[in-house]
Amino acid sequence: MTSLLPILTFHDIMNRPSVISIPSEVFRKGIDKLYQSGYRTLRLTDIADFIRSRVPFPDRFFVLTFDDGYASVYNEAFPILNRYGMSATVFLTVGDEKASRKGRERLPSLGGRVMLSWEEIREMQRTGFEFGAHTLTHPDLTRLPPDQAKSEICESKKIISDTLGIPVKSFSYPYGRYNEQIRDIVRQHFVCACSDKLGAVSRKSDIYALERVEMYYFRSHNRFNIIGTSLFPWYMRAVSIPRRFKRYLQYA
Ligand SMILES: [Zn+2]
């Protein structure tokens, strides 16, 4: 039994350096190391159940999440995770209804990147991957009028559940931004939601603002290998201080 459990957040997996990508070799070796150390994946919605029912987390488990829905989730991460019997939750930015009605094969591009196709999403779904909502157009929800924010949240859920024929239970706030009003809308429509608060989840975590481990801070072999060791909580604390300072400057 353990009191803390990490939810890892990835975006794109590619060798071109960027703030939202991690090299495929680092991903492959990092996942292999976690597997060899006895780590296995839990579903994100299981975490919400553990917290709700006040049951301690099992040892040597973690959760994998991917935000946005880049094609590299299918091309790079899926074959590796499949090999180890691991699963993940992928948060999809699905585009507005008009675009989805056109039967667009791929999700609309974010930042010029190639996104997942619904065919790829269905294939991953068949092996146990879960899909959560990440809005229609990836806005900062806190800057939208309430009606528009509600439509971004609820319409994206509807498009995914209609297309895949499954209930959509989890949500991820674009840029990690939310306020009480946004959290309240999400609470009425989802089982849990992920924020970008840096940290591991505990029994005290808010299930509508779950902490996550942004893999930007672990994008080299040496740093990835810290996950699952006793150094991990120390390293997380060390990176969260400059991050909070940066946020303070951003809003000052
Ligand atoms: Zn995003």
- CA gyration radius, the chain: 17
pLDDT at 97: 63
Compute, in angstroms, the gap from residue 2 CA to the centroid of ligand 1: 29
Structure token pair of residue 95: 């585009």
**Ion ligand 1: protein residues whose beta carbon lies under 5 Å:** 67-68, 174
- CA separation, residue 50 to residues 89, 169, 202 (Å): 17, 15, 10
Angle CA 129–120–26, to nearest 5: 65
Cα-Cα-Cα-Cα dihedral sign, residues 243, 249, 251, 252: positive
Q: Provide the CA 236 distance to its chain's centre, in angstroms.
A: 18
Separation of CA 51 and ligand 1 centre (Å) = 25
Gap from CA of 97 to ligand 1 centroid (Å): 19
Domain positions in the chain are 7-251
Q: What is the pLDDT of residue 14?
A: 82
CATH 3.20.20.370 is held by the domain 7-251: yes
**Ligand 1 center–CA 164 separation, angstroms:** 21
Q: Separation of 138 CA from ligand 1 center, angstroms?
A: 6
**Cα 55 to ligand 1 centroid, rounded to whole Å:** 30
The reported pLDDT for the residue numbered 244 is 61
CA of 66 to the centre of ligand 1 (A): 9
> Residue 22 has what pLDDT?
85
Tell me whether strands 61-68 and 7-10 are parallel, antiparallel or unpaired: parallel
The rounded average pLDDT for each run of 10 residues, N- to C-terminus, in the chain (252 residues) is 84 81 89 93 94 91 95 96 96 79 76 93 96 96 96 96 95 96 98 92 94 82 81 77 59 46
pLDDT at 232: 80
Phi-psi region of 107 (alpha: psi -120 to 50; beta: other; left: phi over 0): beta
Q: Is 105 left (phi over 0), alpha (psi -120 to 50) or beta?
A: alpha
Q: How far apart are the CA of 231 and the centre of ligand 1, in A?
A: 28
- Ligand 1: distance of its center to the CA of 1 in Å? 32
